[in-house]
Chain A
Amino acid sequence: MRPRRTLATSARVLKQLGHDHRTLALLFVVPVVLLGLLAWILTDMPGVFDMIGAALLGIFPFVVMFLTTSIATLRERSSGTLERLLAMPMGKLDIILGYALSFGLLAVGQAVIASTVAVRLYGLDIAGPEWMLVLLAVANALLGTTLGLFASAFARTEFQALQFMPAFIFPQFLLCGLLVPVDRLPSVLEAVANILPLTYAVDAMQLISRQPTISAEIWTDLAIVLAFAVAAVVLGAATLRRKTK
C-alpha cells in the first residue's frame, strides 16, 4: 500500500464524478427530498417524525452510498481498467481505499447536508447534541460505501449489483429495530439482527434522539459501525483477484 497511489485513485474517482453533474446532484439532493417527504407525511402526527426521522437519517445515506459505490466499482471491473491496474505495480488495498476515501468524502457531504436540513428546516427535534447526529449519519454513509465496495466483488453484471440492494439492505432494514424493536423480535431473528451493522447504526440514532447526553452505548454502537466498515474494506481488498481462471 502506498499513500500516493491511494490518493491518486480517490482523486481520479472524484474527477470522474466531477464530469457527471447529475449523479452528484442526485447524491446530495435525494436524501434531503426523502426526509422532507417523510416530514410532510407526518405533519399531522406530532412527535412521530422526531421518533423515526433520526433513524431514517442514518438509513438513507447508507442505502444511496451502497448503490453508488457498488455500481462504480463494478464499472471499474467491466471496463477492464481494474485488470489493467492489477497488472501494474498497484496494491489491492490502494484501489479499495482510494474508492472508500473519495466516496467517504461524498458521504460526509451528503450526511452533513441531510442532517442539517432535517434539523434546521424540517424541525427534527432530537434530545442529544446535533454534532453527534451528523457524526452518526457520516458513519452510516461510510458503512454503506464500504459494504457497497465489498458487495460489488460478488456481482458480475449491473443487474446483479442492483439485486444486491434488496438482498443486502432490505433484510437489515426489516431487522434493524425501526419496524419492531430488536428485543421484541423472535429470538432467532433477534440473534440475526445483533450481527447486522445497520442494527447498531439505527440503535445509536434512536438513542441520540431520546437522550440529552451521549451515553457509552452510543459510542459502542458507533465503534461497531466503524468496525464493520473497516472489515468491509479489508474483505473487499481480499476478494480482488489478480489472476482469473
Chain B
Amino acid sequence: MHDEPVIVANELTVVRGATAALRDVTFQIRPGRITGLIGPSGSGKTTLMRAIVGTQQIISGQLKVFGLPAGSKPLRARIGYVTQSPAVYQDLTAQQNLRYFVSILGLPKSEADAALKAVDLSANAEQLVGTMSGGQRARVSLAVALLGKPDLLVLDEPTVGLDPVLRKRLWELFAELAAQGRTLLISSHVMDEAEQCPELLMLRDGRLLMHGTKQELFERTGMRTVHDAFLKLAEGEQ
C-alpha cells in the first residue's frame, strides 16, 4: 500500500482551444519523492498540474490520484496546490489569509502561524499582502498550500524570482516534506532548479520527453546537466 503510485497518467490528452495542451502523456509518480516537472513555458506544465488537481477537463486517457479519478471529492482535502500567480487576497494581511483558509479546512487556528513560520513570514504576519513583494506573496500562497499537511503538493513555479538564499531554504523545506512521506510535484522552466529534484518529468509541446531519475537522464543522454540533457532529448525528437 505504501508504495502504491500517487499519480497515474495513462495516455492523458487535454485539448485547450484548438491546440492539444497535452498529448498521450503516460507516467506514474511514487510517494515520498520530489518530482520536477520541467519544460519551457507553454509546454503544458500548468495544464498537467491543473488536471491533477482536478480543475482541468480531460479529453481522453486516464488520470488517477491516490487511486481515484482526478478531481474526485475525497481528493480535495489531500492535495495542496499553488498556482503560478499567488492566489491569495491582496486586501487581507498574511495572517488573515491563512486564518481564512484554516477555517475553511476546519483546522486549529495555530496552523496558520505554523504555516507562516514554515515559509519564513512570521515577521510579516500583520502586513497586507497587497503591499508585499512578489516573492513574499508567493510564499503566502505556498503557506496556504501547506495547511493541513496534504499528502500531495502540486507547486507551479514556486521559487521563480526568489532570492537565492530564500530559494535554497524553500528547497530544504520541500526535501523535509518529502522525507515526511509527502509527494511533491514542482514545476519550473528554469533547468537549474531541476538539479534539486531526484526525479524528473520533462515536457515539451505537450509531449512527455522523458520520465525518470536524474541519473537515468544523464546515462541516457550522456550529458551532465539537466539543461544539456533537455537539449539533447529535444533534438532527438525533431
Contact = CB atoms under 8 A, between A and B. Distances in A.
Do A and B pair up? The answer is yes
Interface of A: 4-5, 8-9, 11-12, 15-16, 19-20, 79-81, 83-90, 242-245
B54 A243 contact: yes
B122 interface: no
A93 B79 CA distance: 21
Contact of B87 (A8, A15, A80): A80
B60 interface: no
3 closest cross-chain pairs (CB), A and B: A80-B87, A8-B103, A84-B87
A86 B55 contact: yes
B92 A87 contact: no
Contacts of B83: 80, 83-84
B52 to A, nearest CB: 10
B197 to A, nearest CB: 23
B88 A81 contact: yes
Contact of B55 (A16, A87, A89): A87
A156 to B, nearest CB: 14
Contacts of A84: 81, 83, 87, 144
Measured as residues with beta carbon below 8 angstroms from the partner, the interface class of chain B is 20 to 34
Given A80-B83, A80-B85, A89-B77, A19 B92 contact: yes
Given A245-B16, A245-B57, A81 B104 contact: no
B76 interface: yes
Contacts of A5: 103-104
Given A20-B91, A79-B87, A83-B83, A90 B104 contact: yes
B146 to A, nearest CB: 13
B103 A4 contact: yes
Interface string B92-131: 1000100011011110000000000000000000001000
Contacts, number: 74
Contacts of B91: 16, 19-20
B55 A83 contact: yes
B53 interface: yes
A245 B16 CA distance: 6
B64 to A, nearest CB: 16
Contacts of B89: 12, 16, 79, 81
Contacts of A83: 55, 83, 87
Given A12-B96, A83-B55, A245-B16, 6 more contacts: A11-B100, A80-B86, A83-B87, A87-B79, A243-B54, A243-B55
Interface in B10-60: 16, 53-57
A90 B147 CA distance: 15
Contact of B104 (A85, A243, A244): A85
A95 B150 CA distance: 22
B71 interface: yes
A87 B54 contact: yes
A89 B88 CA distance: 17
Nearest to B147: A88
B154 to A, nearest CB: 9
A81 B91 CA distance: 12
A9 B77 CA distance: 18
B90 A79 contact: yes
B66 to A, nearest CB: 15
Contacts of B90: 79
A15 B92 contact: yes
Contact of B128 (A19, A80, A89, A245): A19
A87 B81 contact: yes
